[in-house]
A = this chain, B = another copy of it.
Amino acid sequence: MAGRVQEKVPLSELLRRHPADIAEVLTTLKEEEAVELLRRLYLRRAAAAPLGEMDPEEAARLLAELNRDEALHILSHMDPDDAVDLLLELPEATVRDLLSRLEARKAQMFRTLLAYPPDTAGGLMSPEVLALPAHLTAQEAIEEIRRRAEELETVYYAYVVDEERKLLGVLSLRDLVLARPDTPIHALMNREVVTLPAEMDVEEVAQLFDKYNYLALPVVDKEGHLLGIVTVDDVMDVMREEATEDLLRVGGIPAGEDLPLDPPWSSVRRRLPWLMGLVVLNLSVAGLVSRFEATIAELAFVASLMPLIADMSGNAASQALTVVIRGMALGLVGWKDLPRILWKELRVGLLAGLGLGLQIGLLSLLLWRKPMFGAVAGLALAGTTVGACLTGGAVPFLFKRLKMDPAMMSGPVATTVGDLIGIGLFLSLATAFRAHLA
């Protein structure tokens, strides 16, 4: 059902499919074939909906291949919020040109939407919302809905407004259906409307929908005028994108998608620059180790635990920062919680470090039969763990403060700090007690 679509499907059959399926076909085709198909869809007046279901970047690439009249026609038939997402991916000059040739009302709507940053409620909303004057009766409201049903994205809720379009209340379609026809809608409406300020961050919007299970929420400006509506499907897209981003960034994929079956070169282009940066970061550890060459030459066996300490630093840092990054995404912690988190992760690091130190100490004793080496290794691993937990808990806040992606940079930085502490401690202790270790 949700499987992949074969590449060759006759147009007539394709037109019977859901726009999301047609979008999937467009995505899997080579660019010139996709443009060709889009043109044939356009001739059947069926190009707008699938383009709205595509990733805006890809959709914009295809649209740019069409001529201006084709593009204008398609844009004016798309859901305005999808059209605007697409316009945001086109060069500014092209957007100005297109807007100047669109029907005035549409152009004005697009301009208003383009003014909101894409990561706010205003950037997410559709302006095509059902606003009803407060003096209508239930029957009149139903007739108004009937007249406008075609153009509206969703009619699950109707919003009741005054003459200045200030939001007064909300009506569910269910309330209207269940009411007596002559009841005035201001008597039916629910006055306690949850509203989204246009400038609210999309993450916060997603948290609201998730917590209270809304299907749609109205967007208002500072004076309470109704601007548009955010629907649950838009929010699901946001949630999926945020979750994806966090996962990809924690995993070390800097930008964009990188799908499992993408061609290798495109994956390398995304992954290699990041890895090369990490090599440079890691040279600090190499520099540190090279200061202890004398100890290593004398006690070569200490080298055997260095990769273990390096790996464990990464593992402990990863746990701490995953918990913090997820807490940030859920809105559970902010900058003001930093001291509490540091205090917590310090204690976690000490407790876990104690456990790991004892473990590696005992294992070293058993494997190498050198009690002093066991003690040194244990202390070093405990130090690594404390360092990695503390920095793993703290660096996501620093990067967020610096407006950098915390999920991306935190892992390597915390790992390197843990390495420096752990390996530095390990080799210093080994140097100090070299007489007892040989």
Contact = CB atoms under 8 A, between A and B. Distances in A.
Interface of A: 1-3, 18, 20, 142, 145-146, 149, 155-156, 173-174, 176-178, 204, 207-213, 215, 232-233, 235-237, 239-240, 243-244, 246-248, 250-253, 258-265, 267-268, 271-272, 274-276, 278-279, 282-283, 285-287, 289-290, 293-294, 296-298, 300-301, 303-312, 314-316, 318-319, 321-327, 331-333, 337, 340-341, 344-345, 347-348, 351-352, 355-356, 359-360, 363, 367, 381, 385, 393, 411-412, 415-416, 419, 423
A401 B325 CA distance: 30
Contacts of A360: 279
A278 B211 contact: no
A251 B323 contact: yes
Given A265-B351, A278-B315, 5 more contacts: A213-B233, A213-B236, A215-B215, A215-B232, A307-B423
A3 B211 CA distance: 12
10 contacts: A2-B208, A155-B174, A250-B322, A260-B324, A261-B337, A264-B347, A271-B316, A271-B352, A276-B359, A290-B301
A323 B146 contact: no
B307 A286 contact: yes
Contacts of A298: 297
A155 B359 CA distance: 59
Contacts of A237: 210
A-B pairs, top 4 by smallest CB distance, nearest first, are A251-B322, A243-B243, A260-B327, A213-B233
B286 A294 contact: no
Contacts of A307: 282, 285-286, 289, 306-307, 309-310, 419, 423
B173 A248 contact: no
Q: Can you tell how many copies of this chain the complex includes?
A: 2
A308 B332 contact: no
Given A145-B177, A210-B236, A352-B272, A308 B285 contact: yes
Contacts of A235: 236
A260 B337 contact: yes
A424 to B, nearest CB: 11
B177 A240 contact: no
